[in-house]
A and B are shown apart, each in its own frame.
Chain A
Amino acid sequence: GDSVTQMEGPVTLSEEAFLTINCTYTATGYPSLFWYVQYPGEGLQLLLKATKADDKGSNKGFEATYRKETTSFHLEKGSVQVSDSAVYFCARDYGQNFVFGPGTRLSVLP
């Protein structure tokens, strides 16, 4: 069935390091792709999205490009901050619902 795969965490980085969190999806149809962020003790917030191939979503310094040829939507940030520590979820839409990846916990150390 449809699925989303993310790199296993946790990911621990020093402040100002470069971040990549890999995400791949099963290629059924033409999904829209999303990254959500969950800060400690809170619900999920939409971070960015892309609705068609080659689109780039961006927000708060994070970017992800919809790559149809590799069925990927990797999340990147050039310089992470301590405040970026959170769990990041990749997702694709699927009919009325969404399919989420398992989440990747990011810890940024000062």
Chain B
Amino acid sequence: SQTIHQWPATLVQPVGSPLSLECTVEGTSNPNLYWYRQAAGRGLQLLFYSVGIGQISSEVPQNLSASRPQDRQFILSSKKLLLSDSGFYLCAWSVGGQGNGYTFGSGTRLTVV
């Protein structure tokens, strides 16, 4: 079966520290992969998406970067966190054409202090 793993579930980091969030997908090949951020009480903001290894599209210029070193691995990083980076980060994947929808991971709640 197809599953998506995202970790850690919760993270508290000081301002200026680096960040690495990892997402892996099982049971599918060549998925489209996505990173979303959800700030407190707000909607979803698409940060990055990837249609293949090494292919990253950035939707919003910011303090974050993404990488896809393997087909089913998607990493969200930052060299120096800002307070405004706090939020709920969601990884998602999709395959195929229209109508298939996204499958989301369980999310990482990041608090920058």
CB within 8 Å of B: which residues of A?
31-32, 34, 36, 41-46, 49, 51, 89, 93, 96-98, 100-103
Q: How far is the CB of B81 from chain A (nearest CB, A)?
A: 22
B8 within 8 A of A: no
B105, A43: Cβ atoms closer than 8 Å? yes
Residue in contact with A93 in the complex, picked from B51, B98, B105, CB distance below 8 Å: B98
Residues of B within 8 A of A (CB-CB), count: 21
Q: Is the CB of A97 within 8 A of B49?
A: yes
- Residues of the B chain whose Cβ atoms lie less than 8 Å from the Cβ of A51: 98-99
B54 within 8 A of A: no
In the complex, what distance in Å separates the CA atom of A96 from the CA atom of B92?
12
B104 A44 Cβ-Cβ under 8 A: yes
What residues of chain A lie closer than 8 Å to B43, measured between beta carbons? 89, 100-103
8 nearest A-B pairs in the assembled complex, by CB-CB distance:
A102-B43, A51-B99, A43-B104, A32-B99, A44-B104, A43-B107, A100-B44, A43-B106
Interface string of B69-113 (1 = CB under 8 A from A): 000000000000000000000101000001101111111010000
Contacts of B34 in A (CB 8 A): 97
Residue of A nearest to B90 (CB): A43
CB of A44 to closest CB in B, whole Å:
4
New contact pairs (11) apart from A32-B101, A43-B90, A44-B102, CB-CB < 8 Å:
A32-B99, A44-B44, A44-B90, A44-B92, A44-B104, A49-B99, A49-B101, A51-B99, A89-B43, A97-B34, A103-B44
**Bound form: Cα–Cα A101–B99 in Å:** 17
Report the bound CA distance from A54 to B30 in whole Å: 32
Interchain CA distance A49-B99 in the complex, whole Å: 8
- In the bound complex, do residue A96 and residue B98 qualify as a contact, i.e. CB atoms below 8 Å apart? no
What's the minimum C-beta distance from A110 to chain B, rounded to whole angstroms? Answer: 24
Residues in B with CB closer than 8 Å to A46 are: 101-103
User: Could you list 21 examples of A-B contacts with CB < 8 Å?
Assistant: A31-B98, A32-B98, A41-B107, A43-B6, A43-B90, A43-B105, A43-B107, A44-B44, A46-B101, A46-B103, A49-B99, A49-B101, A89-B44, A93-B101, A96-B49, A97-B46, A98-B46, A98-B102, A101-B43, A102-B42, A102-B43
